[in-house]
């Protein structure tokens, strides 16, 4: 082992620790790896910057834009609204139809928007058939993951592995080549969840279920502390605002500053503005509190008091949210979004106290109260993804759906027939959408998850370093040497295939599917070259194993989205996802060597 191989392995270990530790964002870690490899001379600047010409991340970015255009037309939403008839079905038939639909959609567009759009529809339908949302949301996420394994466009991991194949063998993987393993895995997952899902999946409450029906029909009213009010110098409780009165103070604003997080301790002052959540019966109670005026006092020069019907929705904190790691007080949440947080769901628990000092984390589900206008303004936000997207596509956007579908069909056709490389077809499709105004460039660029692209670029540079220094070949030699001790020459490739699957699957559960795919695809090439066999079965193994993230809520983004929304605990994913991981492993090591010979 040379010093540069040892250095690359040390850097790899530190990278994995950083990914798991999560103190530094994954994209920053990946970018730091890129910088270190150049600064230390492990990679020359010319070699290192070649990763930016790699077609895989370019294609992934273009597919984000195409998915955004398809979502913008409202086609997916129109399709899901037609599912209302499913409320007549029982649990198992309902689950089968939902999983088939999500699986098919995820085979051709990014699965994250599919899950985001389908989630509120599925929750609504599940309540109508009398089952908890927790009985259907994990299957929703799993169906999107499994459906993505069936085509080249289905998931970014397939595109990455295809790019590695093209680099080392000269030929990319076919558009529907993945279907030979993807369809058997998808059907096995469908059968498993249909037969055992109802028994294994928990029955958990969502955030809205902790509120009564009357609380869900609250009104938001503004009031102020009048001059000379007897409430001055008293706390809210002392002034008469009790939980049993039908009136809740959801924010206190003093001199334009929200004091939401410390309201219960603060003594009221003249001119303080109160924002109240009142049930219908509580409006009269609010008016009866002495010194708290709901009527307009023109002589005071204060703005008019108004009351709106309050709507309650749930939203999930997105991975690119600017408010991650901050408290509601620090971001001045109510002033910023014109919404009030009633509760936060985290790690299977519904939290309603100490909200002002709780630091927000990715995957938190927030119970929000606000006016229809405020909720509409939140639609499309990257900070908080509403589980009930109230934005309705305009007629002009619906008329553009044909162009978007034609662009997507063009990409599929080019990738299937070999008429043009997929990266070329995807870029041309995006240009067509921009020129026809089906997607504004600003919206297209905003749809790209740049953090994911930089993770891919950083891991590509690390993979290149492993290849250039001989680290991947050395590691392959060590693995094969260990396997040689208890296998014959004929069975060795099969055993290595199984080991590669398990190692990739472990990495994707604790890191991310993209990072695992880049690192393990490079190792797969080294193993194939060392064994002297075709690399394709090993690359296909990496593609499936990197996507088969079922045992944790952090390995795949869609799992994280449903984690809080369904009221799940970490152990729920282990319980339901562990057997599914085993099923996918068994099918893969049987089917892959049969279809793609060594």
Read off the pLDDT band of 262 (50, 70, 90). Answer: low
Closest CA to 468 of 168, 256, 178, 249: 168
pLDDT at 350: 59
The helix/strand/coil state of 349 is strand
Residue range 229-250: average pLDDT?
74
Q: Is residue 213 predicted with pLDDT exceeding 50?
A: no
pLDDT at 140: 92
**pLDDT tens per residue across span 500-519:** 999 888 888 877 777 888 88
Read off the pLDDT band of 280 (50, 70, 90). Answer: low
142 and 580 in contact (C-beta within 8 Å)? yes
Of 523-527, 535-539, 552-556, the range with the lowest mean pLDDT is: 552-556
Give 436's contacts (C-beta < 8 A, 6+ positions apart): 400, 403
d(C-alpha 512, C-alpha 112), whole Å? 14
184 and 590 in contact (C-beta within 8 Å)? no
**pLDDT tens per residue across span 129-141:** 888 878 888 999 9
Q: Give the chain's length.
A: 598
Residue range 51-70: average pLDDT?
82
**pLDDT tens per residue across span 377-431:** 776 666 787 766 444 444 445 567 788 888 888 888 888 887 888 888 889 999 9
d(C-alpha 381, C-alpha 354), whole Å? 25
Closest CA to 95 of 73, 116, 118, 61: 118
Read off the pLDDT band of 349 (50, 70, 90). Answer: low
- Pairing status of strand 384-386 against strand 365-370: unpaired
One-character DSSP codes across 132-195: -GGGTHHHHHHHHHHHHTTSSSS-HHHHHHHHHHHHHHS-PPPTTTTHHHHHHHHHHHHHHHHH
Of 29-38, 95-104, 134-143, 370-379, the range with the lowest mean pLDDT is: 370-379
pLDDT at 583: 95
Closest CA to 307 of 221, 216, 217, 218: 221
559 and 141 in contact (C-beta within 8 Å)? yes
pLDDT at 303: 39
Calculate the average pLDDT of the chain. Answer: 79
Structural domains of the chain, with CATH: 219-309 (3.30.70.1450)
Q: Is residue 530 predicted with pLDDT exceeding 80?
A: yes
pLDDT at 354: 62
Q: What is the 3-state composition of the chain as percent helix, strand, coil, each rounded to the nearest 5?
A: 60, 10, 30
Read off the pLDDT band of 356 (50, 70, 90). Answer: low
**pLDDT tens per residue across span 543-556:** 999 988 898 877 77
pLDDT at 65: 87
d(C-alpha 168, C-alpha 166), whole Å? 6
pLDDT at 301: 36
Structure tokens at 92: 């198992």
Closest CA to 139 of 103, 170, 183, 182: 103
**pLDDT tens per residue across span 171-204:** 888 888 999 999 999 999 999 999 998 888 888 6
Structure tokens at 464: 């290149």
Read off the pLDDT band of 220 (50, 70, 90). Answer: low
Phi, psi dihedral angles at 462 (to 5 degrees):
-70, -40
Give 417's contacts (C-beta < 8 A, 6+ positions apart): none
Q: Is residue 302 predicted with pLDDT exceeding 60?
A: no
279 and 312 in contact (C-beta within 8 Å)? no
Higher pLDDT, 216 or 120: 120
pLDDT at 205: 60
What angle is formed at CA 530 by the lines to CA 524 and CA 534, rounded to 5 degrees?
Answer: 60
pLDDT at 282: 60
Burial degree of 244 (CB within 10 A; 0-12, 13-18, 19+) = exposed
pTM over 0.75: no
- Max distance between CA atoms of the chain, in angstroms, equals 94
pLDDT at 295: 44
Of 14-18, 155-159, 254-258, the range with the lowest mean pLDDT is: 254-258
Tell me the percentage of the chain whose pLDDT exceeds 70.
Answer: 82
Read off the pLDDT band of 297 (50, 70, 90). Answer: very low
Residue range 436-440: average pLDDT?
86
pLDDT at 300: 37
d(C-alpha 189, C-alpha 417), whole Å? 29
- Pairing status of strand 365-370 against strand 311-317: antiparallel
d(C-alpha 59, C-alpha 55), whole Å? 6
- Pairing status of strand 365-370 against strand 349-351: unpaired
d(C-alpha 418, C-alpha 174), whole Å? 8
pLDDT at 585: 95
Structure tokens at 43: 């990679």
pLDDT at 531: 87
Read off the pLDDT band of 335 (50, 70, 90). Answer: confident
């Amino acid at each position: 082992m040379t010093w540069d191989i040892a250095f690359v392995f040390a850097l790899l270990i530190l990278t994995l620790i950083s990914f798991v530790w999560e103190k530094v964002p994954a994209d920053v870690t990946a970018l730091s790896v890129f910088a270190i490899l150049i600064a230390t001379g492990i990679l020359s600047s010319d070699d290192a910057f070649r990763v930016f010409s790699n077609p895989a991340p370019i294609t992934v970015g273009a597919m984000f834009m195409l998915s955004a255009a398809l979502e913008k037309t409202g086609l997916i939403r129109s399709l899901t609204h037609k599912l209302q008839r499913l409320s007549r079905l029982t649990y198992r038939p309902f689950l089968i139809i939902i999983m088939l639909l999500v699986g098919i959609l995820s085979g051709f567009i990014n699965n994250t928007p599919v899950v985001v759009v389908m989630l509120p529809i599925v929750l609504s339908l599940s309540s109508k058939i009398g089952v908890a949302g927790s009985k259907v949301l994990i299957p929703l996420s799993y169906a999107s993951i499994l459906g993505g394994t069936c085509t080249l466009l289905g998931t970014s991991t397939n595109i990455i592995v295809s790019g590695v194949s093209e680099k080392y063998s000269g030929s990319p993987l076919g558009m529907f080549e993945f279907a030979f393993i993807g369809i058997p895995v998808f059907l096995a997952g469908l059968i498993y969840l249909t037969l055992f899902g109802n028994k294994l999946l928990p029955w958990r409450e969502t955030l809205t279920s902790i509120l009564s029906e009357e609380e869900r029909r609250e009104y938001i009213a503004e009031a102020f502390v009048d001059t000379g009010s007897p409430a001055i110098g008293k706390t809210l409780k002392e002034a008469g605002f009790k939980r049993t009165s039908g009136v809740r103070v959801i924010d206190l604003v003093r001199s334009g500053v929200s004091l939401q997080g410390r309201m219960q301790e603060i003594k009221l002052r003249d001119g303080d503005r109160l924002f109240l959540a009142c049930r219908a019966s509580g409006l009269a109670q609010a008016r009866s509190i002495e010194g708290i005026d709901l009527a307009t006092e023109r002589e005071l020069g204060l703005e008019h008091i108004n009351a709106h019907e309050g709507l309650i929705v749930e939203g999930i904190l997105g991975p690119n949210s600017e408010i991650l790691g901050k408290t509601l007080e620090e971001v001045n949440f109510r002033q910023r979004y014109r919404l009030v947080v009633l509760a936060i769901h985290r790690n299977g628990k519904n939290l309603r106290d100490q909200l002002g000092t709780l630091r927000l984390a990715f995957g938190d589900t927030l119970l929000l109260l606000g006016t229809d206008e405020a909720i509409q303004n939140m639609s499309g936000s990257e900070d908080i993804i509403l589980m009930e997207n109230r934005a309705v596509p305009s007629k002009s956007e619906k008329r553009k759906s044909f162009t978007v579908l034609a662009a997507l069909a063009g990409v599929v056709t080019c990738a299937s027939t070999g008429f043009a490389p997929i990266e070329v077809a995807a870029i041309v499709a995006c240009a067509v959408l921009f020129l026809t105004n089906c997607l504004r460039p600003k919206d297209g660029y905003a749809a790209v998850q740049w953090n994911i692209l930089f993770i891919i670029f950083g891991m590509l540079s690390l993979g290149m370093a492993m290849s250039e220094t001989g680290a991947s070949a050395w590691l392959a030699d060590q693995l094969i040497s260990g396997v040689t001790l208890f296998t014959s020459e004929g069975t060795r490739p099969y055993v290595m295939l199984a080991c590669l699957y398990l190692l990739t699957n472990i990495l994707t559960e604790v890191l991310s599917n993209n990072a695992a795919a880049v690192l393990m695809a490079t190792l797969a090439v080294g193993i194939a070259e060392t064994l002297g066999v075709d690399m394709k079965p090993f690359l296909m193994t990496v593609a499936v194993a990197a996507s088969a993230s079922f045992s944790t809520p952090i390995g795949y983004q869609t799992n994280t989205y449903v984690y809080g929304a369904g009221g799940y605990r970490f152990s729920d994913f282990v319980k339901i996802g562990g057997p599914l991981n085993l099923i996918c492993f068994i099918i893969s090591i049987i089917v892959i060597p049969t279809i793609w010979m060594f």
